[in-house]
């Protein structure tokens, strides 16, 4: 068991990288405007590009991890992260900075999808809720620690110091992965075991494919096949839960991109370090929600299996998700209207705290649910989940300044709160009918396997 705990700790620390890198530069935006001689739109683009890459790249990470193993993907992408961070520390052009931020996302986003696959490899279903609860503590620490470290480093040595710090962090992370993380992929181990079996008496015919045919197939496999993971969105339990979390998660970028401007202006006039400390409220809410949801999720699973036996349904986890549903719109409304009316600085942060508790109460059980809804494909499904929520976050991040300037913070947060409330209907649909949808899918899979087996039998006879 202690090996599982070590792996859980290592993967959780690696998962911290992406949210930390994504938030570390927020306090440096005003400094980057001057040193890079760039516009506010250009500086904001560094975050938008990072979010888009953070959403897309885990699909390829998940595919490569299921084909070549978890460990090589972790180690190789961490090298990309270190190199891009060193180059960013020496960059002086905004275009170069945007490109390197893309590469930072490529290198730091591995655990966003592969982490879930790693935990599913080593933990039994009744242990996964608590494991995922612990797993999400570190990524929730990212938005807490990053603005604080970023603000301190900017005031000490400028924004380049953030990049140097991230490079050192990447080196430490690579050493930890190399020493402590074994290969966990169940699929890879099964393929390796199959290759060690005695060869059959009849050898299969040698492939007659030309080199350029094989090259084309490998290019397709490495470049386009990961996109086939998007097909999971057509499966209602995956598509509907992803829709709800994407709506809620996108609201995170609405308030996080708004906070620096609101608290730097009247009546608050916060410094850069003080603005970084403001983000503590949301991070504490996410940590509390993540740990609580993990424990409650496992308790419900154990109780349900004891009561129902073979009639157990994984959708029982979504009861915990429903505990967080009311907190999300309430938190957004409280933040939006207290900021709009210039209330005491602490009151809007209560809204952020409530929102983040609700978000994590909803999200953690859903991630654990994926490993049971489609067994063996959790890494690819979480990658698709991550893609949708990051793209939603990038969209909301892009429209937030214009929307707030047009209708105000209060009404904009009210609109977002309405979307989260409507999105909860998708979550309820999965809780009610998810079991039936899974059974229908499993029946289709069995029928397809039977047809394929019959076709192979006919080929052998001919």
Report how far residue 17's alpha carbon sits from residue 301's, in angstroms, rounded to the nearest whole number.
Answer: 31
Q: Residue 199 pLDDT > 60, yes or no?
A: no
Question: Which of the given ranges, 25-34, 107-116, 412-421, 452-461, has the highest pLDDT on average?
Answer: 412-421
* pTM for the full predicted model: 0.75
Q: Residue 189 pLDDT > 70, yes or no?
A: no
Q: Residue 149 pLDDT > 80, yes or no?
A: yes
Report how far residue 338's alpha carbon sits from residue 408's, in angstroms, rounded to the nearest whole number.
Answer: 12
Given this model, what pLDDT does residue 208 score? 57
Given this model, what pLDDT does residue 105 score? 93
What pLDDT, in 10s, does the model give residues 320-357?
Answer: 899 999 999 999 999 999 999 999 999 999 999 999 99
Mean pLDDT on 272-280:
81
- In the chain, where the domains are located: 7-186+228-461
Mean pLDDT on 243-264:
88
Ordered DSSP codes for 111-126: GGTHHHHHHHHHS-HH
What pLDDT, in 10s, does the model give residues 50-86?
Answer: 888 888 888 788 888 878 889 999 999 999 999 999 9
Mean pLDDT on 189-205:
59
Given this model, what pLDDT does residue 190 score? 67
Of 85-99, 190-204, 289-303, 317-331, the one with minimum mean pLDDT is 190-204
Mention every residue, 6+ apart, whose C-beta is less than 8 A from residue 269.
none
Mean pLDDT on 10-14:
89
Q: Residue 212 pLDDT > 50, yes or no?
A: no
* SS3 state of residue 268: coil
User: Smallest Cα–Cα separation from 302: which of 130, 418, 453, 451?
Assistant: 130
Mean pLDDT on 234-238:
92
DSSP 183: -
Given this model, what pLDDT does residue 221 score? 61
Q: How far is CA 266 from CA 218, 270, 339, 342, in A?
A: 58, 9, 11, 8
**Residues composing the chain:** 462
Is pLDDT larger for residue 263 or for residue 309?
Answer: 263
Of 162-176, 424-438, 442-456, the one with minimum mean pLDDT is 442-456
Mean pLDDT on 186-193:
67
Given this model, what pLDDT does residue 195 score? 65
Which residue do the tokens 């494909």 mark? 377
Q: What CATH number belongs to 7-186+228-461?
A: 1.20.1250.20
Report how far residue 446's alpha carbon sits from residue 448's, in angstroms, rounded to the nearest whole number.
Answer: 5
Given this model, what pLDDT does residue 138 score? 76
Given this model, what pLDDT does residue 227 score? 75
Distance between start and end Cα atoms, the chain: 51
Given this model, what pLDDT does residue 98 score? 93
Q: Residue 192 pLDDT > 70, yes or no?
A: no
* SS3 state of residue 400: helix
Given this model, what pLDDT does residue 397 score? 81
Mean pLDDT of the chain: 84
């Amino acid at each position: 068991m202690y090996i599982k705990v070590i792996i859980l700790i290592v993967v959780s620390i690696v998962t911290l990288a992406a949210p930390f890198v994504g938030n570390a530069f927020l306090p440096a935006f005003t400094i980057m405007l001057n040193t890079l001689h760039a516009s506010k739109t250009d500086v904001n683009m560094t975050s938008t590009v990072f979010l888009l890459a953070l959403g897309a790249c885990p699909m390829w990470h998940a595919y490569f991890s299921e084909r070549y193993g978890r460990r090589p993907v972790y180690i190789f992408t961490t090298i990309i992260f270190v190199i891009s961070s060193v180059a960013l520390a020496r960059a002086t052009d905004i275009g170069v900075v945007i490109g390197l931020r893309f590469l930072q996302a490529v290198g730091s986003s591995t655990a966003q999808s592969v982490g879930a696959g790693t935990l599913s490899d080593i933990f039994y279903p009744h242990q996964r809720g608590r494991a995922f609860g612990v797993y999400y503590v570190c990524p929730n620490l990212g938005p807490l620690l990053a603005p604080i470290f970023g603000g301190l480093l900017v005031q000490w040595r400028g924004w380049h110091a953030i990049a140097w710090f991230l490079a050192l962090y990447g080196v430490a992370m690579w050493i930890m992965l190399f020493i402590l993380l074994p290969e966990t992929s169940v699929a890879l181990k099964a393929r390796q075991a199959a290759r060690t079996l005695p060869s059959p008496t009849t050898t299969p015919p040698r492939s007659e494919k030309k080199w350029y045919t094989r090259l084309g197939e490998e290019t397709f496999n490495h470049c386009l096949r990961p996109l086939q993971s998007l097909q999971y969105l057509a499966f209602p339990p995956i598509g509907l839960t992803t829709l709800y979390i994407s709506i809620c998660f996108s609201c995170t970028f609405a308030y996080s991109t708004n906070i620096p401007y609101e608290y730097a202006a009247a009546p608050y006039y916060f410094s850069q370090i003080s603005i970084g400390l403001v983000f503590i409220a949301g991070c504490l809410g996410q940590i509390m929600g993540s740990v609580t949801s993990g424990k409650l999720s496992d308790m419900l699973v154990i109780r349900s299996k004891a009561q129902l036996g073979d009639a157990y349904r994984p959708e029982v986890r979504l009861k915990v998700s429903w505990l967080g549903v009311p907190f999300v719109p309430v938190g957004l409304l409280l933040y939006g209207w207290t900021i709009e009316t210039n209330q005491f600085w602490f009151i809007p942060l209560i809204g952020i705290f409530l929102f983040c508790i609700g978000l994590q109460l909803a999200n953690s059980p859903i991630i654990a649910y994926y490993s049971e809804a489609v067994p063996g494909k959790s890494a690819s499904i979480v990658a698709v989940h991550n893609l949708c929520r990051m793209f939603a976050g990038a969209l909301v991040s892009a429209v937030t300044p214009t929307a707030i300037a047009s209708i105000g913070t209060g009404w904009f947060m009210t609109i977002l709160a309405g979307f989260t409330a409507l999105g909860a209907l998708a979550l309820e649909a999965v809780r009610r009918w998810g079991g039936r949808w899974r059974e229908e899918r499993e029946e289709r899979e069995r029928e397809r396997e039977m047809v394929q087996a019959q076709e192979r039998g006919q080929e052998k006879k001919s």
